[in-house]
Amino acid sequence: MFDSGVGGLTVLHALLVRLPHEDVVYLGDTGRFPYGPRTREELIAYGRELTGILVAQGAKLIVVACNSATAAALPLLQRESPVPVLGVITPEARAAVRATRLRRVGVLATEATVSSGRYVEAIHAVDAGVEVIQVACPGLAEAIQGGEPYSERTLALARTATEPLREAGVDVVVLGCTHYPLIRHMLQRELGPDVQTIAAAEELAEEIAETLARKGWQRGDDHRGAYRFLATGDVEAFRIEGTRFLQLPIDDVEQVAVASL
């Protein structure tokens, strides 16, 4: 599993609960965080590099636990990778279509994800009649990962991001960045009690479980799954921030070098 930083640990947490017998290697590209302002070409290059590192680690399946990287690079990674690659957008799109009563769905995401149009495509692939209102949230992922997710600055960013969705009258909002679930309650308060929020973690964990079962690749129940961490940036900062996101102990983090850092 890889992500631009520690946000993907919200997905890892759900996966460890859903599949406690599987071994997981998590690679956080904290040295190049954030991904939101990056170009599509940069994100494709990063995705290829990180996928290659995880394949070299012996991964049987790759999870792109980053919405920006999924939006930019998933189809290409799926074509090029020797192992299956799953991303966060499609499971969320399906869940949003199932949940909406008004057929009006909001998406909060990074600039790169919104500009890609992938959420609109994924939602319309399930139901072309659903209206999709996207809002880019520059700076929000950085504020959440920066150590003060519940600060006045983060609250101001959340209020700015949710206002267009309230005005549009959506009844479902996709949290289109794996950092956003950490401030889910803050976003929910701004959206109101009648709006349902959808995040990648549980939906994607279920898709991973189904994929492994379909291919017969599950670990036996007698195996206690282990999890390891790699980071391209400061390993101590990753350990401190990551523990808060994962809600489980993180003892050791291995630093890895990437070509374009």
Q: Is residue 199 within 8 Å of 184, Cβ to Cβ?
A: yes
Four-way CATH pick for 2-87+202-255: 3.40.50.2300, 3.40.50.300, 3.40.50.1860, 3.40.50.150? 3.40.50.1860
- In tens digits, the chain (261 residues) has pLDDT values of 999 999 999 999 999 999 999 999 999 999 999 999 999 999 999 999 999 999 999 999 999 999 999 999 999 999 999 999 999 999 999 999 999 999 999 999 999 999 999 999 999 999 999 999 999 999 999 999 987 788 999 999 999 999 999 999 999 999 999 999 999 999 999 999 999 999 978 889 999 999 999 999 999 888 889 999 999 999 999 999 999 889 899 999 999 999 876
The single-letter code of the amino acid at 247 is Q
Say how far apart CA 34 and CA 139 lie, in whole Å: 9
For 144, residues 6+ apart whose C-beta sits below 8 A from its C-beta are 7, 154, 179, 180, 182, 183
What residues act catalytically? 66, 177
Quick check: do 2-87+202-255 and 89-200 share a fold? Answer: yes
Q: Is residue 43 within 8 Å of 70, Cβ to Cβ?
A: no
Please choose, from the candidates 119, 126, 44, 124, the residue with its C-alpha nearest in 3D space to the C-alpha of residue 85: 44
pLDDT at 259: 86
The strands making up 131-136's β-sheet, listed across from edge to edge, are: 131-136, 104-109, 172-176, 196-198
Domain ranges in the chain are: 2-87+202-255, 89-200
pLDDT at 261: 66
Q: Show the tokens assigned to 55.
A: 């394949």
DSSP state of 7: T
Alpha-carbon 236 to chain mean position: 22
Helices (H), the chain: 9-18, 40-56, 67-80, 89-99, 111-116, 118-126, 140-145, 152-168, 184-191, 200-215, 235-246
Say how far apart CA 155 and CA 119 lie, in whole Å: 25
137: phi then psi, degrees, rounded to nearest 5: -125, 70
Which of 231-246 are b and which e, b meaning 16 or more Cβ less than 10 Å from the residue's Cβ? bbbebebbbebbeebb
The single-letter code of the amino acid at 257 is A
Q: What angle in degrees, to the nearest 10, is found between the helix axes of 9-18 and 200-215? A: 50
Kindly report the CATH number that applies to the domain delimited by 89-200: 3.40.50.1860
Say how far apart CA 86 and CA 204 lie, in whole Å: 8
